[in-house]
Each structure stands twice: as structure tokens, then as C-alpha cells.
Amino acid sequence: MLSFRHAAKAAKDLRMSEEHNKTFSPGQIISATIAPKARRTPLALPLHWLMLGIALLAQITVSIVTQGVPTLAPFLQADLGLTRGQVGLFNSAVTAGSLVSMFAAGWVVDVKGERTALIWGNLIVGLFCFAVTMTQGFLTALLVLFAAGLGASFPTPAGSKAVMTWFPVAQRGMAMGVRQTGIPIGGAVAAAILPTIAVIAGWRTALAASGTTCLFAAGVCWLTYRTPDGATSEISPTTRRKPAQLREVLTRDIILLGLAGALLPLGQFALLTYLALYLKETQGIPVTTTATLLVCAQITGASGRVLWGIWSDRWFRQHRKPALVWASVCSTGGSLLLGWLPQGASLWLIGAIVLVYAFNTIGWHGSWIAMLAEIAGPDKQGRTLGMAMTIMYPGIMALPPLFGLFVDYTHSWQWAWTMLALVLAVGTALVLLVKEQESQA
């Protein structure tokens, strides 16, 4: 009897010890081995959500820099004596750097792993942010910001790979949507903080502060991010050794999704760039009122990325294509409603249309990333995302200015929003042509 009690007590102690080990502690995370069952068991702080949080942090800090540069434009112009066109080239330099390195970033994710990409992406951006503070001329600053853009391309394929590695198929849509909120969150933080720092201490200090956040995120990734056991076994030694083959990732479906990704962001950028001017000229709404509306639109759009992901998991049974199509269709309709507002429309009506439009025209992106990653398979996810975003970026760079030029030449906001709806409809049609594969757990 006594031995039975001792055995029962020992078994109970063992179970308690196992449950304790499944709960996050700093020592456990820093250790190189993580039990595979940890990501499938309800925890006080589940490891898969912790790893998503780390990847999200890496995206937020880089986005503070990439989206913070435009907020510092007035300070750069005044200090360096630049024209408006020269100031605009700073943001183009960061974007061009990301475009050039996007496929290489995906290759690093596939061959070296997402942890390496998360660390080096933030490290490169952070170091070159400090380098910009030491420049005195326009061209030098432009080149250094281009170099910072090279690192800014890493968090998206790396963070997306983290989601695919840590999350089962039934939760990937939601997790990818959460990860994609890092871009608008970083933009909101940059807009709220960096101009204030620039007013107090100058634009160089503001950029140094944003660079510090990137270095901090690189350190966090180095200390805490780990892949679960078996995650790298899906990457064959051959894949690690051989250089990336273009034909492996430039498939029909990836090209279609890349082209759709080049067209669909126009809805977001037209909203964020031209809404204030549009409402002021057509409805007489003050810019300050529209600014508040745009903040609400950013928040609504970020929530759209999460909710469309959840709906793809639950309503559409882990199929991303229906969620992407419906979000794009709603975005197309929202563009028409926004462009053909009646004269003297109430602010409540305008606000409702803008928020619904923002929910969809910003919210589709997480489903697009998830669909790309699932089509690619585990050994080519980084390179596939890099290739698709390489196709995507020229559209992001070229189409928003064309929207403004269309208004300048036609003097018609209504037809500009109508043409935007047509572009979004073409993007939706491209998605419809994609053959979605069954998601693998």
C-alpha cells in the first residue's frame, strides 16, 4: 500500500513537472530544444504565440523606419535644403532597396532559416539608420537609406515562414493576419512619435531612435526566437545547398498572385494618400477631420487583416482564396461608393463608407501572404514570397502617382475612383484564375 502511494505521488509530481515545463520561462526559450507538443497544448503563454509576437515585433520596428521616413520629410527638406521632389526620393530609395533584395531575403529564409533573416534584417536597418545620421549631403543620405531598404525586405518572408512553421493550418489565416498588422502598427507609431522627436532634437535623433528599436528587435530575435523540433527537417539538404532556381518559384499561380498583389494595393494607397484632398475639394471637409478619419481607417484596416484571416480559417475551412476574393470584391465596391458620393453627404455616411472600404482594401493582405506560402510548400516559402513581392513592388511604386495624375488631367475625382475600381476588379479576376491547393497541416 505504501509503495503504491509513493508511486502515485511520483507520477503526480512528474505530471506537474511536465506541465510546468510547457509554460514559458526565459530559460526554456533560450534553450535550443523545444518540445513539439508545446505548440499544440493550451499554455499560460503558448510558445507559438510567443514566436509570432517576436516576428511581429521585428516587423513593427522595421516599419517604424520605412514608414517613418515620409513623416520626417519637412525636417529633411529644411535641414538639407532640398526640393519637394528630392524629399520624395528618400522614400523611393528605401522602397527600391527592398525591391532589389526581396528575392535574396526569401532565399535566406529558405536556406538559413527565419531566425537568421529576422536578426539580420533588423540589424541592417538599425545600423544604416545610425549611418544616415552621420551624412551631410543629399546623395549620401539617399544611398544609405537605399542600403537600409535592403534589410527592410527580410521581416515579411521571415515572419510568414514563422507562421507556417509554428501554426497548424486551422490557425494560419488568423496568425498571418496578426503578423501583417505589424506594418500599420509601425506606421502609426512612426507618425505619432518621430515628428515629435524631430521637433525636440532634430531628424537625426528621430532616425537614431527608430534605428535603436531595430537593434533591440534584432537582439530579442537572437535571444528568444527558436524553431520547434522537426521544423527544419522539411527543408531538404539539397535545397540548402543549391542556389534558388527561378523556375521553381516563377509558376503560373505565383505570377498571377504577384500581378494581383501589384494591383490590389492601389486601393489602400489611394485612400491614405488622396482621401484628405478628395474630401476637401468635393465635400469641403477640413483636413484635420479627415486626418482623424484616416487614423480610424488604419485601425479598421488592421482589424480587417486579422478578421479576414479568422474567417478564412473558420468560414472558408482553411481556404484563403475565397477570403481574398471577397475582400477584393468589397474593396472594388467601396471604391465606387466613395467616388460617387452625393454632394453634401453627411459626415456619418462618408465615415461609414471609408471605414468599410478600409476594412477590405487594407485587410486582404494577410490572406494573400498565407495563400502564397501554402502554395509554395515548406521548402520554397521564402523564395516564393520574395518573388511575388518583387512582382508586387513596381505596382506599389508606380500606380499611386498615376491615380493623382489621372485627376490632374481629367479634373474628375469620380472617374479616378471608377478607374481605381476597374484596377481592383482586374486584380480580383487574377486571383480567381489561381488554382488553390489543399492546405497541409
Name the residue ranges covered by the structural domains of the chain: 37-244, 245-436
Task: List Cβ neighbours of 332 (8 Å cut-off, separation of 6 or more).
Answer: 421, 424, 425, 428
Res 427: pLDDT: 96
Mean per-residue pLDDT, 288-303: 87
326-343 pLDDT tens trace = 999 999 999 999 999 998
Please provide the average confidence, as pLDDT, over all residues in the chain.
83
Domains 37-244 and 245-436 share a fold: yes
Q: Which of 248-262, 343-357, 379-393 has the highest mean pLDDT?
A: 343-357
How far is 110 from 328, CA to CA, in rounded Å?
Answer: 30
Question: Is the pLDDT score of 10 beyond 80?
Answer: no
DSSP string, 78-131: HHHT--HHHHHHHHHHHHHHHHHHHHHHHHHHHHH-HHHHHHHHHHHHHHHHHH
Cell of 186: 509601425
SS3 426: helix
Task: Give the pLDDT confidence score for residue 391 in this predicted structure.
Answer: 92
Rounded mean pLDDT of 376-385?
82
CATH number listed for the domain at residues 245-436 = 1.20.1250.20
- Give the pLDDT confidence score for residue 242 in this predicted structure: 52
For 54-95, write each residue's pLDDT tens digit.
999 999 999 999 888 887 878 888 888 877 667 778 878 888
Which residues, at least 6 apart from 414, have a Cβ–Cβ distance to it below 8 Å? 339, 340
What confidence tier does 43 reach under pLDDT thresholds 50, 70, 90? very low
CATH of domain 37-244: 1.20.1250.20
What does the pLDDT read at residue 378? 74
Structure-model confidence comparison of residues 254 and 191, the more confident one: 254
Least confident of 19-23, 88-92, 361-365, 415-419: 19-23
Which of the pair, 308 or 229, is modelled with greater confidence? 308
Among candidate residues 255, 39, 42, the one with its CA nearest the CA of residue 163: 39
Residue partners of 225: CB distance under 8 A and separation at least 6: 51, 54, 55, 114, 115, 118, 119, 162
Nearest to 403 by CA among 387, 424, 389, 386: 424
Give the predicted TM-score (pTM) of the model.
0.77
User: In Å, what is the CA distance from 287 to each residue of 223, 294, 337, 403?
Assistant: 45, 10, 21, 20
CB 362 within 8 A of CB 298: yes
- Please give the pLDDT value at position 8: 47
Average pLDDT, stretch 362-378?
A: 87
Instruction: Pick left, alpha or beta for residue 273 (phi over 0 → left; psi -120 to 50 → alpha; otherwise beta).
Output: alpha
pLDDT more than 90, % of the chain: 41
pLDDT > 70? residue 344: yes
361 has pLDDT over 80 = yes
How does residue 364 score in pLDDT terms, banded at 50, 70 and 90?
Answer: very high
Give the mean pLDDT of 230-250: 53
How confident is the model at residue 439, as a pLDDT? 53
Q: What are the tens digits of pLDDT across the range 118-173? A: 999 999 999 999 999 898 888 998 999 999 999 999 999 999 889 988 998 888 88
Least reliable range by pLDDT among 27-31, 107-111, 222-226: 27-31
Residues 6 or more apart whose Cβ sits within 8 Å of residue 189: 60, 64
Rounded CA-CA distance 51/163 in Å is 9
